[in-house]
Structure 1
Amino acid sequence: MSTNKSIEFLQEMAIFVKVIETGSFSETARQLGHTPSAISRSISRLEKALGTQLIQRTTRKLALSESGKQVHVHCLEMLNAAQTVIESSGHFSEKPKGIVRISVPKAVGHYLIHPYIPEFLERYPDVDVQMLLEDRHIDFIDDQIDLAIRITNEPSLGLKGRKLIDIEHVIVATPEYLKKMSNPNHPRDLKAHQCIYLGEQPSDSKWKFQKGRTTTTVQVKGRYSANHTGIRLDAALQHMGIASLPYFVACSALKTGKLVQVLPEWYFKTYYSGGAWLLYPPTRYSPSKIQVFIQYLAEKLKHEDFLI
């Protein structure tokens, strides 16, 4: 398609993105002030120009074809670029403004990111933040987010990223609990203890440890499991047992002596350890609101020490 043709169909491309966003011709028409038939003709013109079917239509819903998925990505980039132009990308006289939508694992959002949000909002009064606390992997397009923090050692291909911090896990208990029940000297001693673990899947109760070249796995048990980090922390503080926690959650209580690390000479291995990566779709057009948010978090977290 020539440059002139590309310009000719910019509006159709924008309407195509809106249709996918709303999932409906009639809702798109309502939001844009057109008729559903006009929206349908616009999509048909774009499909004819590109020589491919973009949307598979049924009486109940719309779905992208394989070629439609690729076209949608590029059209969305075009609209993001246009929005960047409108916002001047912060490279001119305008200040960063708009909303930043970020998906964050629950514990990371609560303990690491949330404490810094008030200062960010004060520093950038024209930027709003919507933080979605999700432990599942989300889709940038379907969930309409700008950034995602994921715990991984291998960031997803096709995404840009910036590593914020490393995350390690520990097992902890109160001095009172250990005085009552004895302090384990070896991972196998955990079998005699009440252990507080995640409990989302069977492997969560199989705790793995490494010391030098020695690796051992222990099937722990306990009367209480919880898939909420804050609850496991509170349970440990109430002397209910030995809890598995991210170090960044336990470190404050460890420093004050309310908790002590159990088996500190053994490295506690979990599927939830790794780097905390701030990920975003690759694009040359990153709005200033995104740029300042990424830089702000990176600057704040680089001063934190969450390594054991």
Structure 2
Amino acid sequence: METLSIARSFDGTQGVYRHRSDVCQCDMTFAVFLPPQAKDGPVPVLWYLSGLTCTHQNVMDKGEYRRAAAAHGVAIICPDTSPRGDHVPDEKDNWQFGSGAGFYLDATEAPYAANYRMASYIAQELPALIGANFPVDMARQGIFGHSMGGHGAITLALKHPGRYRSVSAFAPIARPGVAGWSRPAFEKYLGTDEAAWRAYDSVLLIEDGHRVPELLVDQGKADGFLDDGLRPWLLEEACRHANIPLTLHMRDGYDHSYFFISTFMADHIAWHAVRLGSS
């Protein structure tokens, strides 16, 4: 693991790191914010998964999470959104596929299957690296994310019961298998047999019996992707049928941007902190 940068912030440290990923067969970059409480012992971990076109950098620059994370004593881990490199297959002119658009799944179709294994990377390889190198308590993990990352956070939590004590999302893609901006990517990564897509669809995972203790979702009513890409009412209906407590905030006037995310970031971190036993 290589340290790319370290900066002091709110008496904690914001670091950026790079390592060789065996899972994704490329170098991967990620960010870690350690709150000041980490000097005294392991702190809880909160994973933040970013959306389409993003890297680890977007939420670092615009998410405004460090003040709240420092106040509550929570480490924030910000992975990249996809494998990257000259040898990694990509579609340079398609922002909804390839680099920046890994959809937190394990691809099964050539030529993408060798590198696009973000589900295994986030669930297995990167946690092992984090646990071995940082003062964190891996028994107290939460996960959240935005848009594609909200989809990833919810699906990972549903498929790994007991691992994440808390899960929330900003404007998650509720049904990526039918949404206009994700269905083509699913076909390329997973093939045309839609039965294979169920493992990466929050609504269908809930229909298939997967559960989380509760969910928190914030969604802007002025989000231009609301009707075609996001459709939180489908997640709301699935949770109601499955008796999963869902707190869904529909926020007047807010769009899909980091202006929206940063407005409610502190609320989400405080919500997770309670469930992670750090507040």
Higher percent of residues as helix: 1
